[in-house]
Amino acid sequence: MAQRLLNMAVADNSRLVSINSSREGQETRHFCSNDIITSKYTVFTFLPKNLFEQFRRLANFYFLCLAFLHLSIESPVSPLTSVLPLVFVVTVTGIKQAYEDWLRHREDNKVNNAPARVLREGSIKEVRWRDIAVGDIVEVADGEEIPTDLLLLAAEDPEGKCAVTTANLDGETNLKTFFCPDATQNTLDPGSLWSVQGRILCQLPHANLYDYKGVLDVVNEGDNCTASLATQNLLLRGAKLRHTPRIYGVAVYTGRETKMALNSKLKNNKFSTVEKSMNYFLIFFLFLLIFEVALCTILKYELYSQEVTNTMWYIDLPTNATVTAGDVYQDGVSFLIIFSYIIPISLYVTLEMQKFLGTMFMAWDDDLRGDGEDEGARVNTSDLNEELGQVQYLFTDKTGTLTENIMHFRNCSVDGAKYADAEGEIHALDEETNRTAALPSLPVHLVTFLETLALCHTVQVTALGRGTAEQTASSDNIELSQLKHYQASSPDEKALVEACARYGVVFEGQNNSQLTLNVKGKRGIFTLLQVLEFDSDRKCMSVVVRDETNQKIWLLTKGAESSVLKRCLLSTSEQQRMHDVTLKHIDDFAMLGLRTLAVARRELTEKQYEDFASQLSQAKQVLEDREEAVRKVTNRMEADLTLLGATGVEDLLQDGVQETLESLRVAGIKVWVLTGDKVETAVNIAYSCGHFKRFMTILTLTGLQDKETAYSKLQECKETCNLDGSFGLVVDGQSLVLLLEHFEEEFYAVGRRCWSVVCCRMSPKQKAEIVHMAKTSREHPICAAIGDGANDVSMIQEAHVGLGIMGKEGRQAVRCSDFGFAKFRFLKKMLLVHGHWNYVRVAVFVQFSFYKNVAFNTPIVFYSIWNAFSTQSLYESLALTMFNITFTSLPVLIYGLFEQNIPPNILMTRPHLYQRNANNVAMSWLAFLKWNLFALWHAGAMFFGLWLTCWDDTCGLPGGATQDLYLFGLALGTLCTFVTNMKIVLEANFYNVLLLGALVITTVGYAALYLLYSGIPAEPFIKYGIFSVYYRLFESASLNLGCLVVGIACLLPDLVLKVVGRSLDPEIKLWARAKRKQEKLLEETVYEINEAFEAEEISVSPDQNKVLL
C-alpha cells in the first residue's frame, strides 16, 4: 500500500507525508520549515530592496536621474538642491518602512519561538514552533493554539473528536468539531504513537480553508488500515483547541505552506481615482518641463548668437567660440535642473502622511463604534480614504449586512397545514383568518417533522443554558427537560434546534455516535451513521441515522426548496397535493420575508445503506475530483424522498437600514442587493427595508432557461426602461449565468437604468462577477461592496472600495476589506461625511502641491528671458531645497487633516451634497486648469510686481545701495512662501487653532532659518553673497511695502472668487438662513426664560423677602 501511495504521489503531483519521519530518518528538507516570515526585509536586503521599491515611483526616479545629471555638469545651483530633498524623502519613507518591518520581525520571532511539544525518540520533547517538521507528531493541550496544519490522529475524548475556534482564520467565534480517523483515535500513549507507521497522501498546499482531501495508510499494532481524509480531519494553524484536554496530530503543512499563511498574502493594490489623476498631472508636467527646456535651449542659441554676445562687453565671454555638443548638453541639463522644481518631490511622502493620519479620525469616531469594545471602525488601508467620497454603485449582501443574522423560528408547514410560533409554543395557524390556536397535543406528523429537524444538523451541545428546569405542561402532563445551550456553525440550524426544544423535542447531545432525543419526556436513541455536509451545488444537507427502538434506518434531508422538492416522490396524487401545498406555503413564508427550507426523509433498507456506505467510502478516497465522485453517490442517496414540510425563519432587519438606503439613494448611489435567498424572500425584504418602493415598476429576469427566452425578456425590460418612471430589477442566479455569458452589456444597460436591483440565489463567484461587470463597464463607475461573511470576500476584494461588517458570520470580511465597521447604518456617515471630507482634503492637497510649484518655478522661467537664457537660478540654493520640504508643507498638512468644508450635521441631513464631488470633479482637467491659472497669475504678479518695485535700482536701500540677485531672489522666495501658504488658508472653510498655528510656525521658522543661514560669517556664504541678505531685506521699507502690496494683489482674486462663489451658492444661503433661524430661536428662548425668572422675582412678597433675608 505504501508503495502504491508513493506511486500515486509521483503520478498525481500530490504530497506524501511519512508519520514520525524523524524516527525513520527521512529527508524532510524538500518541505519548507515551520518559520513564518511576514517581514519584507532583512538587515542585508533592506537597503537595496527598499531603495528599489522607492525608486519605482515616477517622481522619485525622476529626481534620482536629475541628481546624477546634476553631478555631471557645472551646475548653476548647488547639487545639494536636488540631492537633499531626495535624500530627505527617501530617508523618511525608509525609516517609516523600516519601523513597520521591525514590528513585523518582532511578531515573527514571538510566534516562531513559541514553545511546542513534539514526539521525538519515543517521548514528548519541547521545541520551538519553527523546529516542527512535516511528519512530526505534535501534542496540543486545551486552550493552546495549533502550531501548524495538523492531521488529527488522536484526541482525549471518548468520541474521538475535538472542538476548536477559528477566529484567527475566519473571525468566527463558534466552536467547530473535528474528528480523528478510526484507526488512530484511541492511540493516546506517546509510546504507542511512536510505534505508528504510516503514510499520508494528500493535496499539495493551497489556500482554500474548507478543502482538504487525502488518504491515510497506517500500520498500528500490527493492523493495516486505510482511511479517507477530509476537511473535518485537518486542524489549521492559528485555530485554538477548546474543551478537549489534549490532542495529537501529525504535521502535514508547515510554515508558509499552511493555509493561514497562504491566506495572508497581500491583496492586489488598489489605487484611488485621485491618485490616478495625480499621475496624469505628473506626466503632463514632465512633458511641460521637456518643452520648457527645449524651448529655452533653442532660444538661447537663436536669440543670443556669437554676434550678439560679442557686443555684450560687460559679460566675460570668449569671442569667436564655436558651439559644441558639450555646450548644448551643459545648457540643456542646466535648464532641466533649474526648471525641475515644477515637480513636487515631497508630494508622495506628505500625501502618505496625510492619509495615514487621516485614518485615525475614522477609527476615533464614536459614531462609528458598535456595542463591543473591539467594534470601532477599522481602516486596513489608507490609500483609499478619498475613494469613499466617489462611490457610485454599492453592492451589498443581505443576511448579516442588512439583517441581524439572528434567526427566529416563525412558521412551518407540515402535512399541508400551517403552524406558527406563539410566545414560545407552536400553534396551528388558520390560513383564512390568519389566527393561531393552541394545540391540545402535538400531532404525530408534527412530531415526526420536529424529530427530523432535531436530528438533521451538525449542532453541538456544549453546556446547559439554564441552571433550572424549564417546565411546560402539555396535554399529556409531560415535563420538558432543561433547555440546552447549542453551538452551531449556522444560525439557521441553531434556531431550528432551539425551536424544537421549546416545543418539547429536545436534542440532548451526541455520545459515541449516539444521538439522544427527548420527546415530551420520552428519551430515544439514534445512531448517527453518515453526515452528508451542505454544499453550494446540492444546496442541502443530510444525515443517516438508525432508530434504536425499531432498527429502522432513515435518511433525513433539509435544504433549499429548489433542491429538495425535485428530489421528492410525486408518484401519487397525495404526494402531488403535498408538494403543491407546501410550495404555496413556502411562497407565503417568503412573502413575509422569512428564510425557507424544505424538509424530507427516506427510509433505507440495510442493504441499500450498506451499498451507499461502500460507494461513499470509495468516493471519499479519490483525490482527483473527489467532490464530483461524492456528489454522484449523494445524489443517488438523496432521491425518492418523502416530503415532510417546510420551515420559515425570520432574520430581523438591522436598525437604521431603511434610513441609510434612502440617504444613499438621495446621494446618487445606486444600490444592488446580492443575496443567496430565494426570490420572494429577497423581494419582500427589499420592500420592508425601503430598497424597493411601492411606486416603482419592478422588472424581473428570473427562471430563464435558454438564450432565446433570455434575449426576449431582456428586450422587453429594455423597452420598459425607456419609458418614464422609476424602476427596480429582480434577477436570479440561474438566469444570471445566461445573461452574463451572452448578454452582459444589455443586462448592465437595464440594471444601470434601474435605481434598485436585487440579485437572488447568488453564489460567491457570481457576486464578484456582478461587481466586475459594473466596474469594467463603459462608464467605469466607482464601485463599493459590503458584506459580513467569508462568502462576500471575493465581492469585497473585486470592488474599488471593500467594506466589511463585523457580523455573526465572523470577521473574515472585515479582515479582507479596506474599511470595516459594526453596523450597516454606519455606512451613511462613512460615505457622506468621512468620504466627502477626505475627498475634498486629498483633492485640494494634490492640486495645491502642483499649484505651489508652478507659482514657485514660473518666475525662474521669466527670469531666464532677462538673463539671456544663461541658466542662472533666480533663487538661492536653500530656497530651492527647502521650499517643498518645510516652507510650504505644514499648513497644507493641517488642512488635509482637519478641513471640514461642510459641517457634519449638514452632510448627514442633506445627502444630495455628496453628489457635489461626483465624477472626480475636484481633480478634473478643468479644476487643474483653474488652479494653474491662479498659479500663473501669482507667479506673474509676484515677479513683475517686485521687478517694478526694484525698477529704480535702489528700492529704498540705505546709502543708495542697489539690490543684487540674492536680495531680489530672497524677497521673491519669501513672498512666494507667504502667498502659497495664505492660498491654502483661503481655501480652508474650517479654521482652528492648529491651522493658524501651522501658519505662524511656518512663518517664524522661515524667518529664524534665514536669520541663522544668512548670518553665518564663513565660506561659502560670504563668497556667494548670501551673507546678511535677509538682514538687508528689512533695511528697505519700500521693498517690504512692495512685497505686502504685491502679496495682497496676488490673493485678491482668490478672495473675491471665494466670496462670490459662496454668496451665489444656494446651499450656502440655505445653511445661513437655517443658522440665523436657529440663533433667533435660541435668543427668543433665552429671553422667555429671563422673563419668567423676572416675573417670579417680582411675585415674591415683602414678607417672603424678609424670611429669605
Kindly give, in sequence order, each residue whose CB lies less than 8 Å from that of residue 1107, ignoring residues fewer than 6 positions away.
Answer: none
pLDDT of residue 980: 95
Is it the case that residue 447 has pLDDT exceeding 90? yes
Instruction: Please tell me which residue in 136, 383, 397, 788 is annotated as part of the active site.
Output: 397
Angle of helix 764-775 relative to helix 744-753, nearest 10 degrees, comes to 80
For 1016-1067, what is each residue's pLDDT tens digit? 777 766 666 777 888 888 888 888 898 999 999 999 999 999 999 888 888 7
Is it the case that residue 372 has pLDDT exceeding 60? yes
Instruction: State the cell numbers at 44.
Output: 542585508
Is it the case that residue 849 has pLDDT exceeding 80? yes
pLDDT of residue 408: 87
How many of the other CB atoms lie within 10 Å of CB of 142?
A: 15
Is it the case that residue 287 has pLDDT exceeding 80? yes
For 403-429, what is each residue's pLDDT tens digit? 777 788 999 999 989 999 988 899 999
331 versus 488: the higher-pLDDT residue is: 331
Average the pLDDT over 951-974 and give the result: 79
pLDDT of residue 73: 83
Q: How confident is the model at residue 686 (pLDDT cuts 50, 70, 90)?
A: confident
Is it the case that residue 467 has pLDDT exceeding 70? no
pLDDT > 70 in the chain, percent: 90
Is it the case that residue 375 has pLDDT exceeding 80? no
pLDDT of residue 242: 85
Is it the case that residue 694 has pLDDT exceeding 90? no
- Mapped onto helix, strand or coil, the DSSP state of residue 737 is helix
Lowest mean pLDDT among 88-97, 162-171, 283-292: 162-171
- Mapped onto helix, strand or coil, the DSSP state of residue 930 is helix
Single-letter residue type at 956: G
Rounded-to-integer distance, Cα 564 and Cα 538, Å? 9
Q: Calculate the CA dihedral of residues 423, 424, 428, 429 and round it to 10 degrees.
A: 50
Question: Of 149, 147, 143, 152, which is closest to residue 131 (Cα–Cα)?
Answer: 147
E strands, 894-987, are: none
pLDDT of residue 1022: 67
Average the pLDDT over 272-300 and give the result: 89
Position of cell 477566529?
A: 167
1058 versus 815: the higher-pLDDT residue is: 1058
Average the pLDDT over 443-466 and give the result: 82
Q: How confident is the model at residue 465 (pLDDT cuts 50, 70, 90)?
A: very low
> 340 — alpha (psi -120 to 50), left (phi > 0) or beta?
alpha
Q: How confident is the model at residue 764 (pLDDT cuts 50, 70, 90)?
A: confident
pLDDT of residue 1024: 66
Is it the case that residue 1100 has pLDDT exceeding 60? no
Question: Of 434, 395, 402, which is closest to residue 685 (Cα–Cα)?
Answer: 402
SS (H, E, C) 949-969: HCCCCCCCCHHHCCCCHHHHH
Q: Calculate the CA dihedral of residues 637, 638, 640, 642 and round it to 10 degrees.
A: 130
Instruction: State the cell numbers at 807.
Output: 457580523
Average the pLDDT over 96-111 and give the result: 84
pLDDT > 90 in the chain, percent: 29
Is it the case that residue 318 has pLDDT exceeding 70? no
Is the CB of residue 235 less than 8 Å from the CB of residue 249? yes
Question: Of 349, 343, 337, which is closest to residue 286 (Cα–Cα)?
Answer: 343
Position of cell 485537518?
A: 234
pLDDT of residue 4: 47
Is the CB of residue 990 less than 8 Å from the CB of residue 899? yes
Rounded-to-integer distance, Cα 980 and Cα 941, Å? 13
Q: How confident is the model at residue 474 (pLDDT cuts 50, 70, 90)?
A: very low
For 1079-1093, what is each residue's pLDDT tens digit? 778 777 777 777 777
223 versus 768: the higher-pLDDT residue is: 768
Average the pLDDT over 96-112 and give the result: 84
pLDDT of residue 1107: 42
For 23-38, what is each residue's pLDDT tens digit? 655 555 578 888 888 7
Instruction: State the cell numbers at 779.
Output: 462608464
Instruction: Tell me if residue 397 is catalytic.
Output: yes
**What pTM was computed for the model?**
0.76
Is the CB of residue 229 less than 8 Å from the CB of residue 216? yes
Average the pLDDT over 202-216 and give the result: 83
Average the pLDDT over 894-918 and give the result: 91
How many of the other CB atoms lie within 10 Å of CB of 276?
A: 11
Rounded-to-integer distance, Cα 955 and Cα 764, Å? 75
Is it the case that residue 179 has pLDDT exceeding 60? yes
pLDDT of residue 505: 92
Q: How, if at all, do strands 197-202 and 378-379 pair?
A: unpaired
Is the CB of residue 243 less than 8 Å from the CB of residue 237? no
Question: Of 617, 605, 575, 623, which is closest to residue 202 (Cα–Cα)?
Answer: 623
Is it the case that residue 741 has pLDDT exceeding 60? yes
